[in-house]
Structure 1
Amino acid sequence: MELRHLRYFVAVAEERNFTRAAKRLHIAQPPLSRQIQQLEETLDVQLFERNARPLKLTETGKFFYEHAVQLLAKTSELESMTRRVGNIERSMSVGFVASTLYGLLPKIIRRFRDENPTVELSLHEMSTMDQIRALKDGIIDVGFGRIRMEDANIRRVVLREEKMIVAFPLGHPLALAKPIAALRDLIDETLIVYPKTPRPSYADQVLAAFQDRGLKPRKIYEVREIQIALGLVAAGEGISIVPSSVYGLKRDDVSYRELDDPTLVSPIIMSMRAMDESRDIKEMLALVYRLYEDEQIPHVPSADKAP
């Protein structure tokens, strides 16, 4: 018994007429009748009541029809899924810290998908430290984070150094007094930092900026993520030091000011397994640099282009 026998049988059973079934199958009626006869001989059963008009299934035929339809449906699904697997030649998992979503990362992902339609791309929000572990465990293939972390098994590429800015509650006196802020002016404010865990994290970069300058905020409020930090800023609970890409997050209850020290930056780092020289990794890295240049965004030059 072959799949074509099942298709022929189902067509005759549904059309209840050999002539209409033959037309549906785009074959002549005599060959169709022979195929059904062969099927009955193979199974050693009678599937149709030949003398009935219109054609009727026997009880055995009704049983066989129900299972034939299911089998043909599964066969069609198998064909479809096999084609899909054949078209998706590659897959790549990307880890990212939440703050990178306010920068160029969404455009990088969209452009990569457009240019590589056969790559199945999945995204995973996770801290930089979690990204390192996920890379080693094979859970992700590339990560976009902010923490400088040395590990012999991980290759890290600093893409750009993003300026830090201050988020003030709308109408805050310091924001109204100066267009550019200084860290020393912020020590009497409640400093809201994120993420609370795991550490080290972006919070440690902010705290180190104060410590390196011999400054200590009066009060530090640790929260889980950037959105909570900005929500608390809007509520007047304190101020927060955030990456400049947060400018893209439009809020009418928070005002931003630049800092007077150009060395106050947070890196955006692309991490991958040290030995991973795959085509997709190379294409994504090249795409990042291409978009930086197209958008005229200051960045650390590619090692391949650096003098």
Structure 2
Amino acid sequence: MKQFLNDRAPYLLVAPTVLLLLMFSIMPLFIAFFMSFTDMDLAGIANWANIEWIGLANYIEIFKDEVFIQALLNTIVYVVIGVPIVIGLSLAIAMAINFGTGKVFEWFRVVFYMPSITNVVAVAVVWGFLFNPQYGLFNFLLNTIGLPDVPWLQDPFIAKLSLIMLAVWRAVGINMIIFLAALQGIPRTYYEAAALDGASTFQQMFKITIPLLRYAIFFVTVTTLIGWIQFFEEPLIMTEGGPLNSTTSLALFIYNNGFQLSNFGYAAAGSVVLFILIITVTLIQFRLQKNENNY
């Protein structure tokens, strides 16, 4: 009996996690995929007899939907602008903390990490005051140097940039911690040997630091891309997708159709498209990582 328990112990330990994964991740994927071929709505939830199988109609309709196309383009803008900024800032701050010698660098860890664990609703309320066109701090600072007010959340393009600014501020902290952990795993002897050979600081950065951070950069890139493709909380709370759907993301489009309009089948089709987009981007990242040279 003891040997039996010892052999089965690993399976018993992972069983709760696997069960939760199946119930709340795997099964919903299959359910959403099935729903995307139906016209499920509130009536369908109340009585399954009201659900009709409509095949690819939701997918055909969704790619004709101007709001969906706009949401897709908005998401691309968020990813193209936000992801490089987050990765670059996170790496720069992590390197400053790792190689900095002043006492102030120890406080930087807390200062930059705190936004990532702060409740997004509280953050949105505070940033809403900062973006206020009449009484906001940002416009006040611009006015003090003679610049005009900026319609932070009223202009379609500037509203996107404003949400990206907020999201970058929140996302830098967690990636900074990951980069910092990777940096502290690089032996100091590498830098000492390079310094003895006459390598400059920039040469050490691009010949030692960046190559040895390869896997950390890959991990942060993949997770950051997935997070920004699912960009949701900021546009929902700050702008509700406005003005003129200029800040509506794919995730917000799915939420509006599913939970606001109760078009569950249509929203499920959007979620399948979003899932395929995430999987495609992730596989491309893995292929690019596989093709790179090892150090």
Band the TM-score falls in, shorter-chain normalisation: under 0.3
> Which one has a larger percent strand, Structure 1 or Structure 2?
1
Return the structure number with greater relative CO, CA threshold 8 A, min gap 6: 2
Q: TM-score, normalised by structure 1?
A: 0.22
Which of the pair has more CA radius of gyration? 1
